[in-house]
Amino acid sequence: MVYGQGAVVIAEDPFGNNPKRPYLIVSNDRTPFHGQEYIAVVITTTDRTEAVTLTADRFEKGRLPRTSHVSPWSILTLKDWMITKQPAKVTSATVDEVRKRMGVYLQTE
């Protein structure tokens, strides 16, 4: 299955202590190897000031079982085989906000 921008997916956690966790796909179909690899950001239940909280109005479809927050500074590449399911999709406005916040961390000084 190919996952689009804004998909909330459950995948392996290559760096943490949890076997699986949610991520937000921020890449689009213009990304090299789309369908095989995705640029994603971590979703966590830890509320941080810099995070984007996923309130009910931020979901286009589906939801997560607990109040969750997107960490725009925690970026990684997910391989398609790491993803087990897609429980939700966020709105394009939510993706735009996350991308803007990511840009702050990627700008040169």
**pLDDT (tens digit, 9 = 90+) per residue, 71-107?**
999 999 999 999 999 999 999 999 999 999 999 888 8
In this prediction, residue 68 carries a pLDDT of 97
68 vs 18: CA distance, rounded Å: 16
In this prediction, residue 17 carries a pLDDT of 75
* Average pLDDT rounded to a whole number, residues 15-30: 90
Q: How many residues does the chain have?
A: 109
Alpha helices in the chain, H assignment, sequence order: 92-106
CB 3 within 8 A of CB 14: no
CATH number for the region 7-106 comes to 2.30.30.110
CB 35 within 8 A of CB 2: yes
pTM here?
0.94
